[in-house]
Amino acid sequence: MPRVYEIRVTGCTDLDEALALQDPIARELCPEEEHPGPCDVPWSFGLGGDDDTTVLVLGVCTTGARVVEVADRVRALLGPGRRVEVAEGDPDAFPELVEQYRAESPPLLEQWPLLGLRLTTARLELRLPTDEELAELADLAVLGVHEPDQRPFLNPWTDQPPAERARNVLQRHWRQRGTWTPANWELDLAVFENGRPVGFQEICGRDFATLREVTTGSWLGLAHHGRGIGTEMRAAVLHLAFAGLGARYAVSSSFADNAPSVGVSRKLGYRPDGITRDVLYDRAVVSQRLRLSAEDWAATARPEVTVTGLEPCLELFGLPEGQGRPADAPLPSR
């Protein structure tokens, strides 16, 4: 969970020199001063030292692994002439920082850090929805997520009457939160374009810490089809899986005649992985399995994705803090 840490910068000759470092460090931590939403890492400045030395103290409220990353950024910014050290901080010494963290953090964030997880692309944001936003998504599902003559889901939830279809969206999302364990999890992220919900993107893991394999599924409001949003939202969770969690494989499946879903998979580098046969409405149906390896993901062109708020969530994914992407996994290049 987030704690208060001090990043102490020594090597300043006097108070004026220490104060002059605040602006470049602030720009490093927060390049866009008027950015929407809270800072990724809440921070504030202070001063320390004695009559002979002046120490610039950067207080941050974050996790142990993340404070090391922030300290490395400060160290690279200031160069070798100044020493940058990390120490545990006293929350009482940074009351405004603690208050900022509490004010900007969603309710229940410490107990359920997935509420702070964000995936962003050039035009999309993926995150857990509020109940009000979930109700909007339920209404969106009622309006349709595929053409009336299509049945793209093995679980035919879209065949339900409108009220039941909306209720299914609510219950499924709440159930996935309620049954979450590190050994068996389903992350159901709402997809937002320009602040409005347009669909859901799911990523699931079973025994992920051992298998390092995820599966994905999604739906998109019918009015938003045909604009590349499906590819962009899948790319976002694949970045989370491979670059953030250290997955080795991502698996998807769809009916062989579901051209949009198969097209997204092929565009993102998936390869055929056999078929499965199931029963839908007393008829045998064939699904095409597709598999994406970490190596193929790294070699395939894809949208740029930014992940924030992941470090506090790693334990919930079955991974120790700081143990997301393993050392032998490919770098997120393309």
Whether domain 113-317 has CATH 3.40.630.30: the reply is yes
Handedness of CA 323, 327, 333, 334 (dihedral sign): negative
Helix (H, G, I), strand (E, B) or coil at 228: coil
pTM of the model: 0.69
Pairwise pLDDT comparison (62 vs 123), residue with the higher score: 123
Q: Which of 206, 142, 198 is nearest to 170 (CA)?
A: 142
Angle, CA 95 vertex, CA 89 and CA 101 arms, to 5°? 85
Residue 261 has a pLDDT of 76
Residue % of the chain over a pLDDT of 90: 42
* Nearest partner of 261 among 300, 299, 218, 232, judged by Cα: 218
Angle at alpha carbon of residue 178, lines to 174 and 184, rounded to 5°: 115
Q: Per residue in 68-116, pLDDT tens?
A: 889 999 999 999 888 999 998 888 888 888 888 777 766 677 789 999 9
Task: Please say whether the beta carbons of 213 and 204 come within 8 A.
Answer: no
Average pLDDT along the chain: 84
Q: Which CATH architecture has domain 3-104?
A: 2-Layer Sandwich (3.30)
Rounded average pLDDT over 44-73: 84
Q: Are 278 and 143 in contact (CB under 8 A)?
A: no
Domain ranges within the chain, ordered by starting residue = 3-104, 113-317
